[in-house]
Amino acid sequence: GLAVRMGAGQVLLVLLATCTMTPAKDPLLNICMDAKHHKVKPGPEGMLYDQCAPWKDNACCTANTSSEAHKDQSNLYNFNWNHCGVMPPKCKRHFVQDTCLYECSPNLGPWINQVDSSWRRERILHVPLCKEDCEEWWEDCKDYVTCKENWHKGWNWATGTNRCPWGSMCRPFSHVFPRPKDLCEKIWSNSYKYTTEHRGSGRCIQMWFDPAQGNPNVVVAKYYAWKKRSSPAWVENTTPETDKAVHSLPWTLLVLLSLALV
C-alpha cells in the first residue's frame, strides 16, 4: 500500500502534518478521578507540601490536601495509621507517598474505574507499581504491626476513626503480608498491581520520583492508554464520541514510532 511505497520518514511527516490539523484530547491522559478531594482537572499547585511536592507542576490535589496527607490523624478520611501502636516514620513515609500519588497524580487515567461508593464515584484498579517502590514499602514496614489485610473496609468506626475490628489481633506486617506483592495488591483492595518492571522502564508507575528529572509517569500512562485502546474490549465499548479520540492520528504516530525503534 501507500505506506510501503513511501518511505517511513515520509509517512511520519504526512502524519505529523495531519496531526496538527486534528488535535484530540485523550480521555485517558492528564485527568483527575472523580473522588472525594480531587480537583476537577489537573493544573499547577506551587504550594504542595513536602512529599506531595513532586506533583506541583501539574496536580490533581490542592495544597490543603497535600498538607493533610502527612498527618497521623488526617481530616482526609479520618484514618488512623497508628491502629496497632505507633507506625515507624520509615514505614509511614510510604503511606504518605501512596496518598500523595493517589490524590495528586494526573497520570492514573488508564486505571480509573467507576465505583458505587458514598464518598467517591471513581477509583483506581491494578495500577502497575514499579518493583522497587513495592519492595521498599514492604521492607520498611515489615516490622510494623496491623490487624487487617484490607485497609479499605471492615474497620470498627464506632468512635469516628478506624479501630481494629472486634476479635482481630495485631500481627507483624510480615505475617499479614508475607511478600511485597501481598502488601501492594491487598492493602487497598487491588488498587495496585505488583510488577517486575523497574523504575525508569516506562512500563510501571513510580510512587517515588525526582521532579527535577520530570514526571516519569507521563510516559507510562501514554503507553498503557495505547495498550488499553488496542484491546478488543475497549473497541467494543467505544461510543461515537470517544471513537474520534480512539482513532486520532497521534496514536497511529506513536505506533509507527514504536515500530521504528524496535
3-state DSSP call for residue 62?
coil
**Are 245 and 25 within 8 A, CB to CB?**
yes
Q: What is the CA radius of gyration of the chain?
A: 21
At 158-217, the pLDDT tens digits run 988 889 999 899 999 999 999 999 999 999 988 999 999 999 999 999 998 998 889 999
| Helix boundaries (H) for the chain | 2-5, 8-21, 63-68, 89-104, 131-141, 173-176, 180-186, 217-230, 232-236, 240-246, 249-261
Q: Is the pLDDT of residue 80 over 70?
A: yes
56 vs 19, more confident: 56
Domain boundary assignment for the chain: 50-155+167-232
Within 8 A by CB and 6+ apart from 156, the residues are 162, 163, 164, 165, 166
Across the strands, what pairs with 123? Answer: 113
At 131-164, the pLDDT tens digits run 999 999 999 999 999 999 999 889 998 988 889 9
Band of pLDDT at residue 8, cut at 50, 70 and 90: low
Query: Of how many residues is the chain composed?
Result: 262
Within 8 A by CB and 6+ apart from 164, the residues are 83, 84, 147, 148, 155, 156, 170
